[in-house]
Each structure stands twice: as C-alpha cells, then as structure tokens.
Amino acid sequence: MRILLLGKNGQLGWELRRALAPLGELEALDYPEIDLAKPEDLCRAVRQSQPQALVNATAYTQVDRAESEPDLAMQINAAAPGELARCASAIGAVFIHYSTDYVFDGRAGRLYHEDDPPNPLSVYGRSKLAGEQAVASAGSAYLILRTSWVYSLRRDSFVKKVLGWSRQNPTMRVVTDQTGSPTWARMLAEATAMLLARGAPHIFDWIYERRGLYHLAGSGAASRLEWAREILKLDPDPAAQVCRELLPAVTSDFPTPAVRPLYSALDCSRFEAAFGLRLPPWQEALRLAMDPD
C-alpha cells in the first residue's frame, strides 16, 4: 500500500511513521514541506504522491493559544482537513483523520458516544468539530478517529510535564475535576496501522463500507490527579523525584484562556465492533510507555 502521512513530527505522527512503515511505501511530510495553513497547496502534494491512503496527523493543538488565533486554528483544523478529504476522494485514496474529545462540553458525566451532541467550549474544540464536518461532507472513504488526552514521552505532554514538575517541587497540585481517557500515541498509531492492514488489498472499498466517525482512546477514564499519581508510581527514575506530596486542586485554581470540558472520556465500543480492535486500559498502556526495559 502506498501511504502519505502528514504531520510526521508530532506525537502521533512520529509513532505513525514507524507503525505504518511495514504496510508498504510510506511518504511522510511535516511543516514546512507542507503547510496546512495554505489549503490551496495541499492537493498538489497529494496528487504528486498518489497515495492509496492519506493519513493526517497534523493539527493546531495549542488549545490556549487558539483563543487568540482562531483564524489560523480554523484554517489548519477545519479548512485543510476538508480540502485533504476532497483531494483523497478525487484520486481514490482513503482518508484517515483524528479529532478530539474537546468537541464535547463535558456535562454528560459518563463516557461519551459518537452520537452524543457536541458542544465545544473552546476555539480549538470548535475548529476540530468544523474539521469533522468538513471531512464528512467532502470525503468518501474516510475515517475520523476522535481521541482524548494524547501523550508521548518524546514531545511536551502531560506525562513529561508531571515528571518534570516532580523533579523540581516538593508538593504538586493537580486537578481532580477534569476526567478523560489518557491515550498513548503509540497505541493509537498501531491501531491505525492494523486497521489499514486489515483492509488491504481492497482498502478503498473496505473503508468506504465502514466510513464515519469513531471514538478511539485508552480504555477507561481518569482524573488528571489519578493520572499524575500513576505517572509518579511508574516513574523509571523515582530517585530523581523531590515531590513528596500530590495535592488535589480544581480547574478554577489554574485559570487558562481556553475552557476545557470537565468530563470527556470516550466510549470506544463502536470502533471495536467495526474493526475488532481496542486500546488497552489506560493504566496498562502507561505502564508499557514508561517501562524502562
């Protein structure tokens, strides 16, 4: 299979570059080779590459900065994915795109299903929701995989932040009133590669029959405090920690420009039923991600 991956240097893109490689011929691009802020240039790059699968791991992910750069966030997260879906469709390629739990307002208080009505609270969430809508209306054989609280040990992520804070502060305050589904970027990448492998060699028809929106995140739910506690427990270098106390806090203790949903954990049973794949419980994936051996 010939695959074009966009966003190869991001948390997810870095893992996708490795997970997709065994599937065939992989071309991987990132900014500035390709700029999603210029949707008019995108089709040329897709046509040149002639992929059977176009995988988009690019996004404007600076949730707080998006509040003051709404046009740029919309361009990268909404206009560009719509254009990519159109280009993929025009050359008979499948289009894989990722979205976010931040499309929800977090008031459900239970795992979110794909049919739950979105109601984003931030510019980022609105731009990603607009991206979903653009892909669904322009795409043919497309998948939108909504995920949540993505981390990797390479780029700046909550896991890396907690480890960093634990080496500097004797006490740490972490919020208990935000709940999500922590998702290791590697597991998300591997599930993407496995589903593409399952669909080969008739990938277009196979995805077309299953096209649509799916939740795909680490199984289960955790508050930020529970997640931080597990990170410290699994720290491969606990001797480096100076933090002796993890204290509960609430979101309003740390005002940020963007409002985040308080509860955005995802139910992934639709994905499991369609593709026979599921991500492991978030604690298990975290243990694997942090295993030093």
Nearer residue to ligand NAP within complex by CB, 132 or 235 = 132
Which of 95, 214, 220 is closest to 147 using CA atoms? 214
Q: Which of these ranges, 57-65, 202-210, 247-255, 278-286, lies near ligand NAP under the rule CB under 6 A?
A: 57-65
Does the footprint of ligand NAP cover residue 263 (CB under 6 A)? Answer: no
With vertex at residue 30, the alpha carbon angle to CA 161 and CA 205, rounded to the nearest 5 degrees, is 105
Q: Which of these ranges, 56-64, 205-213, 240-248, 270-278, lies near ligand NAP under the rule CB under 6 A?
A: 56-64
What track of x and - describes contact with ligand NAP for positions 66 through 95 (by CB under 6 A)?
----------x-------------------
What's the residue count for the chain? 293
Nearer residue to ligand NAP within complex by CB, 11 or 122 = 11
Tokens of 184: 């290791």
Backbone angles phi, psi at 222, to 5 degrees: -145, 145
Distance CA 194, CA 228 (A): 30
Q: Which of these ranges, 4-12, 162-170, 191-199, 284-292, lies near ligand NAP under the rule CB under 6 A?
A: 4-12
Distance CA 97, CA 84 (A): 10
Distance CA 94, CA 139 (A): 9
Nearer residue to ligand NAP within complex by CB, 10 or 51 = 10
Distance CA 174, CA 172 (A): 6
Q: Which of these ranges, 132-140, 147-155, 207-215, 244-252, lies near ligand NAP under the rule CB under 6 A?
A: 147-155
User: Does residue 31 have an active-site annotation?
Assistant: no
Task: Give the active site residue among 60, 102, 112, 124.
Answer: 124
User: What are the strands, taking DSSP E only, across the chain?
Assistant: 2-6, 25-29, 53-56, 94-100, 142-147, 150-151, 171-175, 179-180, 183-184, 212-215, 222-223, 245-249
Amino acid at 65: R
Nearer residue to ligand NAP within complex by CB, 13 or 139 = 13
What track of x and - describes contact with ligand NAP for positions 7 through 46 (by CB under 6 A)?
x-xxxxx----------------xx--xxxx---------
| Biggest alpha carbon–alpha carbon distance for the chain | 57
| Residues near ligand NAP (CB under 6 A), total | 27
Nearer residue to ligand NAP within complex by CB, 102 or 165 = 102
Tokens of 120: 């984003």
For the chain, how big is the Rg over CA atoms in Å? 19
Nearer residue to ligand NAP within complex by CB, 76 or 268 = 76
Residues that bind ligand NAP in the complex, under the rule CB under 6 A: 7, 9-13, 30-31, 34-37, 57-61, 76, 98, 100-101, 128, 147-150, 155
Catalytic residues: 124
